Structure 1
Amino acid sequence: MTAPAPITRALTPVGRLFGLGIAVVRNTFRPPFQLAEFIEQTWFVTKVSALPTALFTIPFGATIALLLAELTRQFGAQSQTGAGSVLAIVQQAAPIVTALLISGAGGSAVCADLGARTIREEIAAMEVLGISPIQRLVVPRVLAMATTAVVLNGLASVVGVAGGYYFNVIVQGGTPGAYIASFSAVAQVSDILVSEFKAFLFGFTAGVVAAYRGLNPPPGPKGVGDAVNQSVVISFVLVFLINLVLTGLYLELVPPKGS
């Protein structure tokens, strides 16, 4: 029994996207590795994403701190504000903000670059010459986005925590000692590790999606523009779905500190 045609058409791109991700992992360990291209792409993605990530994280951290401070005040648990806000920023806000900025700034550029090469038939020419476009072009770009996401996630965590501390302690008049003590009482190394793992996976996913849409754009320059828009939207959806799964697994498998 074969699947209906609409279902087949919908699942075919999913299978190809997954296949590209497998090909990227496989070609990562196949020499020669394009180190110069990787460094160049890492610098480019960092350059276009670092400042927006830092600036975008400040209102995230402030919003979380303000809301949690108000909620804890209503329930008489002001001493736990630091724990809630910092964990929310490190585990959720920082990797999500990083992924959105990496997808929007870096992923769109990667998709546009590969899409332009595709419609100019540079990709086809490379294949005729026996050069793997995945190994030569895709792998360095995907790894650059994943690596940059890990670094920017650390930056976003620091900026978000500092912003939350400022708004809770300075603006709302909270107690600095209680803010820090409540965080240190419940935080653990695994919180940072899962945050960095999320950032790496989000960056890798955004890179694969951008590369896939760039290698398979609709015809013409307008098609490349449409592919860029699609890559950003698809990356956003996948990031939130992956975050939901990882958060659920982490809460189930990693016991809270002190339990």
Structure 2
Amino acid sequence: MHPTAPPLRRPLSDRLLVRRAHGGLVSMGALFAVGLEALRFTREVRTWFWEFVDQCAFLIRVTTLPVIMIALPLGATVALQVGDLAGQLGAQSATGGAVIVGLVREVAPIAAALIIAGAGGSAMTSDMGARRIREELSAMEVMAVNPVHRLVTPRMWAASLVSTMLASLVIMSGAVGGFFFNVVLQGVTPGAYFDGALGLLRISDLFVTLLKAWLFGMISALVACHMGMNCAQSPIGVGRAVTRATVVAFMLIFAFNYVITTIYFLAFPPEV
């Protein structure tokens, strides 16, 4: 009889890859479980309203100026580049439409969410990590207070609201920057600048933009809180959690943006 063959073992690199993929799926499942738990407690507004107000004030304070400083030169740069190309094609009056449509459809929700994730999200992760180090989260659980309900729910709704307002601010600031360079420096009439945008935009574009900004802000806050509440109990662990939260939030924002934009363009093809 032939001896029993030894069982085949996967290479070490394959085992590490499988382990990391399994850990990533488990972490993603835990992230969405925290989000659903936070949304489930939304109806108890009286218990988290003032924390929501404080978080809104904090996010507005740390994100408004950076968003304006980003949107103004961004709109001006797009106007200069598109205006130069459109001038060579004899369609310089279409620059305003290209600038504002790009701002409304793609730039505004992503820029607002990235600022929320970078400036506000890092502060949320640090705050949650500090609470974990000081055992405040465990103390809340001992007192029968759910940390997700009391801390994550108001931060998610605050980030979503502020992100939606920031998206509107990005559109206005970018349009002002594009208007200055396209009208003042390149000689396009104001009527032609805005007429091109109004001819290409639809009401549904604005609704989808605000929906994306709202969703991206909520995702940014959820990732920040989850990473901070599960970081290693050391200052180094908090720092790593901040970096990890920012990277994961950026990845999820771009992934959801691709999915939403694809579905929207399939449902409502752009008009020519």
| TM-score, scaled relative to structure 2 | 0.89
2:83 alignment partner AA: A
Distance in 2 (alpha carbons) for counterparts of 1:245 and 1:62: 28
Following superposition, the deviation at residue 108 of structure 1 comes to 0.7
Task: Give the aligned partner of residue 74 of structure 2.
Answer: 60
Distance in 1 (alpha carbons) for counterparts of 2:158 and 2:174: 23
Structure 1, 167-176 or 119-128: larger mean CA deviation: 167-176
1:141 alignment partner AA: R
Contact residue 213 and residue 230 of structure 1 kept, 8 A:
yes
Distance in 2 (alpha carbons) for counterparts of 1:222 and 1:77: 55
Task: Give the aligned partner of residue 75 of structure 1.
Answer: 89
Task: Give the aligned partner of residue 246 of structure 2.
Answer: 232
Task: Give the aligned partner of residue 108 of structure 1.
Answer: 122
Following superposition, the deviation at residue 17 of structure 1 comes to 0.9
Following superposition, the deviation at residue 138 of structure 1 comes to 0.8
Quick one: structure 1 residues 125 and 253, their matched pair in 2 at CA, closer, same or farther if it must change by over 3 Å?
A: same
The reply to whether residue 221 of structure 1 matches residue 221 of structure 2 is no
2:175 alignment partner AA: V
Contact residue 31 and residue 226 of structure 2 kept, 8 A:
yes
The reply to whether residue 24 of structure 1 matches residue 38 of structure 2 is yes
Contact residue 60 and residue 93 of structure 1 kept, 8 A:
no
Supply the RMSD in Å over aligned alpha carbons: 1.6
The reply to whether residue 179 of structure 1 matches residue 206 of structure 2 is no
Distance in 2 (alpha carbons) for counterparts of 1:4 and 1:221: 30
Following superposition, the deviation at residue 226 of structure 1 comes to 1.0
The reply to whether residue 118 of structure 1 matches residue 132 of structure 2 is yes
For residues 179-235 of structure 1, the C-alpha deviation after alignment (integer angstroms, 9 at most, x for no partner) is 111111121211211111111011000000001101100230111111011111111
Structure 2: gaps (5+ residues): 1-16
The reply to whether residue 212 of structure 1 matches residue 226 of structure 2 is yes
For residues 73-113 of structure 1, the C-alpha deviation after alignment (integer angstroms, 9 at most, x for no partner) is 23332232211111101111111111111111111111110
Contact residue 138 and residue 211 of structure 1 kept, 8 A:
yes
Following superposition, the deviation at residue 31 of structure 1 comes to 5.6
1:84 alignment partner AA: A
Q: Which has the larger radius of gyration?
A: 2
Task: Give the aligned partner of residue 21 of structure 2.
Answer: 7
Aligned pair count reads 256
The reply to whether residue 168 of structure 1 matches residue 182 of structure 2 is yes
Following superposition, the deviation at residue 70 of structure 1 comes to 2.2
Following superposition, the deviation at residue 32 of structure 1 comes to 4.3
What SS does the corresponding residue of 2:67 show, helix, strand or coil? helix
Distance in 1 (alpha carbons) for counterparts of 2:80 and 2:38: 42
| TM-score, scaled relative to structure 1 | 0.93
